[in-house]
Amino acid sequence: MQLDPQMIAVMKKRAVLASRPDDPAALPIEAVRKAYNAERAWWNAIKPEMGSVSELAVTGPVRDIPIRIYCPQDADEGPTLLYLHGGGWVVGNLDTHDRVMRLLAEFSGARVVGVDYALAPEYRFPVAINEALAVINWLRVQGEDHGLDASRLGLGGDSAGANMAVAATQLCHQQNAGMIQFLLLYYGTYGLTESQSWQQYGNAEYEFTPEESEFYLASYLASDQDKTDSRFKVLSGNIDLLPMAFIGAAECDPLRDDSIALHKAMQAAGRQAILKIYPGVLHSFIHYSRMLDKATEALRDGASALKTALTAP
């Protein structure tokens, strides 16, 4: 497939900002994170002003969980979006996804709550999912004290964060049906082990290799049995428990077919879902809105779907 010219320019810029390790498994984990954070810093340097940004910690199952609350300017009584960042469960934090969360808040009018969940391999599956559940419960009990409307709650994420968002929703709705009313998902991994998109785009040319995928999975999962756990392989979970969703995918991404599979599963279960595949872009493309128009388009599309689903008539 032909890459979008702006995507090619992004790839060149990324190469200048920081070198990508050929084999992240050969490096200390802190070196992998340092390279990721350095490359992401430039993309987050320019960002929209918020009405307020506040930080606090939520008591979790193994530690206190840092969260960041973005309230857009001129915000009315808008809905709440809990956002789980991507990064293969190994890298990423609130700063690496700061611009993404600010733009989602600005475009949707929602208050966005970013979760700095525990990273692997220090904390392996399912600790991060349990932390997401802890923050959801905190929102239900104490969110109103912080201006957060838990009665209109969406859960979102990109890549690994999208995987966790689906898993956390399925688990949450086993106990509190309807607690989460919307899913905002970008290029997640949902449980396919083989796909046409992996065969076509799983290589260095498209900046996502099987070796990288294996590194992230080996860091996150504690055993081979975890690969079939429905908290990871969410397509094997109860799709009936999912609310309406916006599913954004990148055309030139090994994980593209995961998004297509989730959309088909939701349709088969009678669940409402929008799938949009953005042509000529790679995995992680929503980060690059400083140079890539389709990143802004995808964030606007997701924010619009969120606003339509959760804004009171």
Q: Are 155 and 135 within 8 A, CB to CB?
A: no
Write out the two tokens for 102. Answer: 């600010």
3-state SS assignment for residue 222: coil
**Unique residue bearing structure tokens 């997701």:** 302
Check residue 152 and report its DSSP letter.
S
pLDDT at 126: 98
What's domain 5-310's architecture? 3-Layer(aba) Sandwich (3.40)
Within the chain, residue ranges assigned H as helices are 5-17, 29-43, 98-108, 127-142, 160-175, 196-201, 210-220, 256-268, 293-310
CB neighbours of 201 closer than 8 A, spacing ≥ 6? 208, 252, 253, 254, 256
Give the rounded distance of the alpha carbon of 63 from its chain centre.
22
C-alpha distances in Å from residue 120, one per residue of 90, 129, 229, 254:
5, 12, 17, 22
pLDDT at 77: 83
| Rounded distance between C-alpha atoms, residue 115 and residue 112, angstroms | 10
pLDDT at 1: 65
Q: Domains of the chain: which residue ranges?
A: 5-310
pLDDT at 289: 98
3-state SS assignment for residue 292: coil
Give the rounded distance of the alpha carbon of 37 from its chain centre.
16
Write out the two tokens for 2. Answer: 């032909």
pLDDT at 312: 65
Active site amino acids: 159, 253, 283
Number of other residues whose CB lies within 10 A of the CB of residue 274: 16
pLDDT at 313: 59
HSE, CB side, 13 Å, CA atoms: give it for residue 200. Answer: 13
Write out the two tokens for 245. Answer: 């969703």
pLDDT in tens, the chain (313 residues): 699 999 999 999 999 998 877 789 889 999 999 999 999 999 999 999 999 999 999 999 999 999 999 999 987 788 999 999 999 999 999 999 999 999 999 999 999 999 999 999 999 999 999 999 999 999 999 999 999 999 999 999 999 999 999 999 999 999 999 999 999 999 999 999 899 999 999 999 999 999 999 999 999 999 999 999 999 999 999 999 999 999 999 999 999 999 999 999 999 999 999 999 999 999 999 999 999 999 999 999 999 999 999 986 5
pLDDT at 74: 83
**Bridge partners of residue 68, in order along the sequence:** 55, 114
What pTM was computed for the model? Answer: 0.98
